[in-house]
A and B are shown apart, each in its own frame.
Chain A
Amino acid sequence: MSPWARINDWLEHRTGISTAVRNLFCEEIPASSGWHQVFGSVALFLFLVQAFTGVLLAFNYAPSPGEAYNSLQYILTEVTAGRLMRGLHHWGASMLIVVVVLHMTQVFLFGAYKKPREATWMVGVILLLLTLAYGLTGYLLPWDNRAYWGTVVATNIAARAPLLGPYLTSLLGGKDSIGVVTFARFFALHVLLLPPATTLLIFFHIYLVRKHGVAPAPGDEYVPKKRFYPEQAFKDTLAIFVAFVILFIMAVVVRVPLERAADPTDTAYTPRPEWYFLFLFQTLKFFSGSLEVVGSLVLPGLAVLLLVLVPFIDRNQVMAVTRRTFALTFVALAAIGWTALTAAGVITTPKGANRATIDFSSPSDWLQLSPWKRYKSGYARFAQTRPDTKRLMADYSSDIDQIWIPDMNVVDRCTTCHQGISQSTLVEASVPQPYRAHPIVPHQVKEWGCVICHRGQGLATEVGEAHETTLAWEQPILPVSFIQGSCGTCHRAEIPQAPRLNRGRELLVRFNCVGCHRLPGLERPVMLGPDLTNIGTKVSREWLYKWLKEPRTIVDATGNVTVNGYETGDEPRMPKFRLSEQELKGLTAYLSSLRSTPVAPYKFDPRVVAAWEKKPDLVEQGEVRFRQMFCSTCHGLAVTRAGETKLIGGDIGPELTKVGSKVNPDWLLAWLRDPQSHLPHAQMPRYAWSDEDLYVVTQYITAKLVDPDLLSDVPKLGPPTAEEVQLGHRLFLEKGCVGCHTIEGVPSQKDFGPDLSNLGGKNVSQLEFGQTKIPRNLIAYIQAKLTDPVSVNPAARMPQYYLNSSDIGALTVALLSMSGPASASRMERLIVPRKEAALHPAAGRFGEVYERYKCYVCHQFNGYGGALAPDLSFEGSRARRSWIVEFLKNPQTLRPTLTFRMPQFNMTDEEAAVLADYLGKVFQSPAAHPVDERAFTPGMAAKGKQLYEVKYQCQSCHTIGLGGGYVGPNLSNVGNWMAAGWIEAWLRNPQALVPAAIEPRRAFTDDEIEALTAYLLTLRQTAKPVAAKGAGR
């Protein structure tokens, strides 16, 4: 006996297994048995495949909602053949259902459920239901969006069952939503309850089949039976093999989707059941409202009941299949109905729904789990579509890209996603973000990183973490409109590339924010609010009341500041303090009591008074003199010409339209004679007035520049009482007036308002929003504060400034640049400091004159000073000394098109001489060299004239005598005015001397320059200009 036979024998004797197997396989089956009966075996095989692959999957699967997804990803991406196993299990489920239905259909059509096989059929129906239950419970186990939302729908349907609904819901483990308990129960059902139940039932089913034998067809009783093995067994095996091949191919080729991890908050997701439930899903659409139960419970319930009762409904004799018209029709109709419903279900799936499918089809697909890796590979794909792929991919690596500059504290990983940031060919707007290149800016990305300018979290590798405020990092990216704020963190001086920043800083100075807040790097404006030490001598209590109540004293119905009907953009700098009646009374009382230095009335020369007093045109003459002195160069004034009211003049000094109604006449006289005695830091020059001028001008001012109704709406205030004064004094301190206004004896208040030197670096959590509806970010906070301080904090002490939105934006930019001490970021070396003034303060006799007449208010000297008048840094090289002296004594109209004129200061000869000497010797240009004028001949001059008039046509811009253009200065007296060396240098290259000059740079030859210079030097007006009346002393 062979060893094999011996083992067999032993087993047979002990267990009887050989006989059992033989009986099983050698059972007798009807002669008509054939291919149509393979489905049962195939179904059994597929069930075994499901069990096998299910166990294998369970070896690597974590059955809890959070980890289920991760472990499934692990299986799909890291475990060898993991994707195959999952594919087999997924498609195996679908195939099993198909085969089970086919098997059932075959049994139904062949009438194999008839007596005595009713029990077999009913067990089979239960098996069908169990198979569907497998499908339902297994669907949830991946815990992706598809699983989650599909199950939500299914459990909602169950919940709506009448009577049983709530119990079903608790059985399924969820009260309101799918959670960990539901998951646990579904897993337990799928893996612990259903398998043994199914196995038992299958055994039972097969036992019953075996007991009654395979159902015969009509005519089988006349034909001998055959054996199951090997023919039918072969057919079964082949069918199994075909099914397996199909399954295997599907598992390898057709991707099983895994969508994003379940997101219970994703309200945009469209749930869809597995395809074999779609017909049910679709049926539900026909029954809505109270009829819903019909579609969800009644109809399916009925269907199942009918199925179960089929053997009792049809008790006829067994017939040949072809003669079973009713059954055939029924099956056909059911098939059509089911197909139609399923097709409808498929078609009505919204297009593009649930696009976020992560398909793990390629080996590197698991890399796509990180968004930055997706962007990177997206860039690689994008680069393939460009002509310069090689260059675009030159620095490409699959890792995180990082710009690391340790001594600047820069760790920026932005370039990981923004791969094309430095690629010049990716600048067009058609390049999709984040691959587009950065616009040209002065700082290179590689040397500076990104966060220095854009803020945000450089270390982050996810979009949200990088761009937005998160719990861990509170500084979001700066919106592009505010990016100039970042320029300001290093550039303390003005830069032309950041106009919004410059404007913001200008406004911070203008409104004297430094008066209350600490703001580094800003000078106090030269003109703050006036010194109030003697304010009681200047204005009346009523005027103070009107001013404090509303500094914009001339406001029209819509709240626009107007001057006699003309809207002016220059608001008064003083903000509004929202004062109550009581407070107004107190403050006005206090202020009007400030008269420590009484104004001594000025005694005019009695002859002057006598001469002018009676003149009928006194006021008109006063106006003429006022105009001749060009007071409007610095002061604004509303004038009515031809029925139209316009605001003319400058904004260096206060607007004077109604000054006559504002100030005490004695005060006015004192002021005009010596502004600095009343206000030491006043920018107004100290004119040298003759009594006559002073008299007529003040008469004009007090007669014409008035508004009799100015104070008509002010209540009668009377003299101040002691309590009012005390209240006012207290209020003066409490409101922080000292930030802008000084009063002798009142100490200044440091840090009246919060320290803003690090405002740009503040985190959102450090800002107090209270209960307001302001968006929770720094920029919104700043802007709300600037627009209306009370809207942010009802108890704010900050007064109300009136700013238009563009100015608010500029101020926000400037404030965002306040980012604390540079040492905190180890970037002191990067700070570009503000240039210190080179000239100020000037010394010596020149300094005295210079200070008296405040030349620097209008003119610039080596970078310091105002921009209203020409830059005098090179004046010494330009103008002849004698001309300067003459001009200072009597300023002429040099450029007719300009409206501002240098006022007449009534300087003494000595003062003019000092200025001319200093200018001449100190303010020289290196480009202009002294020229020996004796070298110029009349012949040259004639040639020059020719060049001037014919070849170059200079008269199109310059006037000589009565003819010519008005673009450039009048050259009628240029021979007396300019030095020859300057003229030559100017003609050679105007922009080298004055960079912004609009004179075109002609390519003159040296000879031409000589000739033109010679000609110009001949242009001298010999007659002295008529001196204006009253000029000089």
Chain B
Amino acid sequence: MNEVGAGQNEPGTPSVPRRNFCVAAIGALGSLIAAAMALPALMYLLLPPRLRGQGEWVEVGDISQLPAGAPAKMTFRRMRVDGWKVVSEDNTAWVVKPSNLQVLAFGPQCTHLGCAYHWDRTKDEFFCPCHNSLFAIDGKVIGGPARQPLHRYETRVEGNRLFVGRLTMSE
């Protein structure tokens, strides 16, 4: 059982090759087990869940009365997936018709730190009261600490009715 060979110190101690094998095996098996646990755990923790039911179009309202060049704040109800819940929420969008051919719908949050901005009629610009960011009617930054233009919803018009999809970062 216990071979007397090179590297053997005391009776009861295994031979070096045997010892090495045991050590290596412990290391290998241990690593395998650790990997088999760690990898799925990382995926579990870090990968986003499979989205469901997102990206549907929601009707915002009738834009036939919207004058060109004057944004209007429109609210609509939308379902949002939150973990295992689906929540029905009110969303807002600033809807503007720069020309009669185009409709833009901006997300309601300033791209600086997320405050609610509004349209200043006297100066024809979007103004955010938190840190004085300014945006033009097409969403571009014209002043203040914001770096990105206003986020836009995907839009679709059918007849007089406006539909919005996802909110995207503007290019």
Contacts and interface: CB of A to CB of B under 8 A. Distances in A.
B13 A237 contact: no
A70 B85 contact: yes
A591 B26 CA distance: 115
B49 A225 contact: no
Given A71-B83, A74-B49, A241-B32, A233 B43 contact: no
B44 A79 contact: yes
Contact of A240 (B10, B33, B50, B83): B33
Interface residues on B, range: 20 to 34
A244 B49 contact: no
Interface string A213-255: 0000000000111110011011001101100100010000000
Contacts of B85: 67, 70
Contacts of A71: 83-84
Contacts of B14: 226, 230-231
Contact of B29 (A62, A67, A240): A240
A3 B41 CA distance: 31
Contact of B22 (A70, A224, A233): A233
Nearest to B84: A74
A365 B49 CA distance: 16
A171 interface: no
A824 to B, nearest CB: 25
Contacts of B18: 231
B9 to A, nearest CB: 10
B44 A80 contact: yes
A56 B45 contact: yes
Interface string A845-888: 00000000000000000000000000000000000000000000
Contact of A238 (B13, B29, B37, B84): B29
Interface stretch (A81-89, A413-421, A986-994, A1015-1023): A81-89
A244 B33 contact: yes
A74 B83 contact: yes
A82 B84 contact: no
A602 interface: no
Interface string B16-38: 00110111011001101100110
Given A227-B12, A230-B19, A52 B41 contact: yes
Given A56-B41, A78-B52, A230 B23 contact: yes
B113 interface: no
Interface in B41-79: 41, 43-45, 47, 49-50, 52
B159 interface: no
B5 interface: no
B11 interface: yes
A248 B84 contact: no
A699 interface: no
Given A31-B12, A67-B84, A78-B50, A237 B30 contact: yes
B41 to A, nearest CB: 6
Contacts of B29: 237-238, 240-241
Contacts of B22: 230-231, 233-234
A56 B45 CA distance: 8
A4 interface: no
Interface residues on A, range: 35 or more
A84 B26 contact: no
A84 B42 CA distance: 12
A10 interface: no
Interface string A42-80: 000000010010001001101000010011011001111
Interface in A536-593: none
Most buried by A among B2, B26, B49: B26
A81 B84 contact: no
Given A31-B12, A226-B13, A238-B29, A244 B36 contact: yes
Contact of B25 (A49, A70, A84, A234): A234
Contacts of A82: 44
A81 B38 CA distance: 11
Contacts of A223: 12
Contact of A85 (B10, B36, B44, B50): B44
B41 A80 contact: no
B45 A59 contact: yes
Interface in A450-505: none
B25 A237 contact: yes
Contact of A225 (B12, B36, B45): B12
Contacts of B2: 226
A81 B40 contact: yes
A69 B11 CA distance: 59
Most buried by A among B2, B83, B85: B83
A477 to B, nearest CB: 29
Contact of B84 (A73, A84, A227): A73
A640 B119 CA distance: 99
Contact of B13 (A52, A227, A241): A227
Interface string A825-838: 00000000000000
Contacts of B41: 52, 56, 81, 85
B44 A233 contact: no
B44 A237 contact: no
Contacts of B49: 74, 78-80
Interface in A339-387: 366
B148 to A, nearest CB: 30
A84 B10 CA distance: 46
Interface in B97-141: none
Contact of B44 (A56, A224, A227, A234): A56
A81 B44 contact: yes
Given A80-B47, A231-B22, A237-B25, A85 B12 contact: no
B12 A70 contact: no
A631 to B, nearest CB: 71
Contacts of A233: 22, 26
A78 B29 CA distance: 31
A70 B49 CA distance: 14
A226 B2 CA distance: 10
Contacts of B84: 62, 67, 70-71, 73-74, 78
Nearest to A225: B12
A251 to B, nearest CB: 10
Most buried by B among A31, A73, A78, A366: A78
Nearest to A82: B44
A406 to B, nearest CB: 12
A610 B159 CA distance: 95
A80 B25 contact: no
A441 B21 CA distance: 82
Interface string A1002-1027: 00000000000000000000000000
Given A74-B83, A80-B43, A81-B43, A224 B11 contact: yes
Contacts of A74: 49, 83-84
A52 B47 CA distance: 18
Nearest to A77: B50
A71 B82 CA distance: 11
A92 to B, nearest CB: 11
Nearest to B41: A56
Nearest to A367: B52
Contacts of B25: 234, 237-238
Nearest to B19: A230
The 8 closest A-B pairs by CB, nearest first: A74-B84, A230-B22, A78-B49, A234-B22, A224-B12, A226-B12, A81-B40, A80-B47
Given A227-B13, A244-B33, 16 more contacts: A49-B37, A67-B85, A70-B85, A73-B84, A80-B43, A80-B47, A84-B44, A85-B44, A223-B12, A225-B12, A226-B2, A227-B12, A230-B23, A234-B21, A241-B29, A241-B32
23 contacts: A56-B41, A60-B83, A62-B84, A67-B84, A70-B84, A71-B83, A74-B83, A74-B84, A77-B50, A78-B49, A80-B47, A80-B49, A80-B50, A81-B40, A223-B12, A226-B2, A227-B12, A227-B13, A234-B25, A238-B29, A240-B29, A244-B36, A366-B52
Interface of B: 2, 10-14, 18-19, 21-23, 25-26, 29-30, 32-33, 36-37, 40-41, 43-45, 47, 49-50, 52, 83-85
